[in-house]
Amino acid sequence: MSLEANPQFGPLVKEVVKDFQTGRLIAFSSVITLTEVLPKPIEAGDLKLAGKLADFLKFGGNIKLVEITEEIADKAGKLRGKYPALKTIDALQITAAIHLRADVFLTNDKKLKKVKEIQIMVLSDYL
């Protein structure tokens, strides 16, 4: 199931995606996002949706995927040291955003709001 199809978050996600596609916003994410979004559609047997999601992330307008470098990994480890409850994957994603000098980190995980190195925006706060 796509987040856009989610009855709770769908309308908001569609607006955010539209803002990416029109150039109003530029999105950055790490290649780890592929690891996060592909399992559900593949598990459900929806290879078409998995392909659409992967293509959107890799080739979508105004969305740029970045590699996880040694520097990002090192800084993510330090971020986890500062916030011990932070999961590795979240530390890598947040550190990639910080490395790219992103203005905000968009998530739906309220626990990430404890990170103070970047502004954390939680989708559910805007419903």
The domain total for the chain is 1
The reported pLDDT for the residue numbered 88 is: 97
With a cut of 80, say whether residue 79 has pLDDT above it.
Answer: yes
Model's pTM, two decimal places? 0.81
Q: Per residue in 84-119, pLDDT tens?
A: 999 999 999 999 999 999 999 988 899 999 999 999
pLDDT per residue as tens digits for the range 16-66: 777 777 777 778 889 999 999 999 999 999 999 999 989 988 987 788 899
pLDDT at 7: 58
CATH at residue 100: 3.40.50.1010
The domain of 53 spans 3-126
Give ∠ CA 97-100-101 in degrees, rounded to 5.
85
